[in-house]
Amino acid sequence: MAIAAGKTRGGGLEGQGAFEDSVIKIDRFAKVVKGGRRFSFGALVVVGDRRGRVGLGYGKANEVPLAVDKGIANARKALLTVNLKGASIPHAVKGRFGASQVILLPASEGTGVIAGKTIRPLLQLAGIKDVLTKAYGSASPVNLLKAGIDALGKLRTAEMIGSLRGVKLG
């Protein structure tokens, strides 16, 4: 049951909510042994419910389906709740991880998700429908996605900032 990279599949376990997952990248590693090469696989997976919860996971195994399942399990353990403003994000934000930087900008309704092929599934599975993005630095998928998760974690609504400062919005 090999999953093509970049494809989204629905589902999830009963009682766990309606999570969808998207396989971003599958890596193949070779270990040279006496009888030849022994291959193992790594799967980078994003999981989300399209309603503000998203997670990133990486799984390693000797077969692709097992690696994908481990990646999904790891992503479910690392779920992040994203603060949204309608179908977009509340404000511009920059996320960093390693040598990668991702800038997310709010967009008007109907714009869509303007993003590269690596960061797009993360934003779509988080439930963001209108956003502009720009990636700088390293194009490594793992670093870009972790920078995207960092940016999504920094999002705050006006009500949250008001309550932190003790100011009443009105």
Question: Of the candidates 50, 80, 110, which is a domain's last residue?
Answer: 80
Tell me if 59 sits within 8 A of 29, measured CB to CB: no
The number of domains in the chain is: 2
Are residues 50 and 36 part of one domain? Answer: yes
Model pLDDT, residue 6: 54
DSSP result, the chain: ----TT-EE----TTS---EEEEEEEEEEEEEETTEEEEEEEEEEEEE-SSSEEEEEEEEESSHHHHHHHHHHHHHHT-EE---BTTB-SS-EEEEETTEEEEEEE--TT--EE--TTTHHHHHHHT--SEEEEEEE---HHHHHHHHHHHHHT---HHHHHHHHT----
Instruction: Give the residues of the chain that fall short of pLDDT 70.
Output: 1-17
Are residues 129 and 92 part of one domain? Answer: yes
Domain membership of residue 152 as a residue range: 82-161
Model pLDDT, residue 168: 86
Question: Of the candidates 28, 50, 80, which is a domain's last residue?
Answer: 80
CATH number at residue 146: 3.30.230.10
Residue 164: exposure state from Cβ atoms within 10 A (0-12, 13-18, ≥19)? exposed
Question: Of the candidates 44, 63, 80, which is a domain's last residue?
Answer: 80
Model pLDDT, residue 159: 87
Are residues 65 and 50 part of one domain? Answer: yes
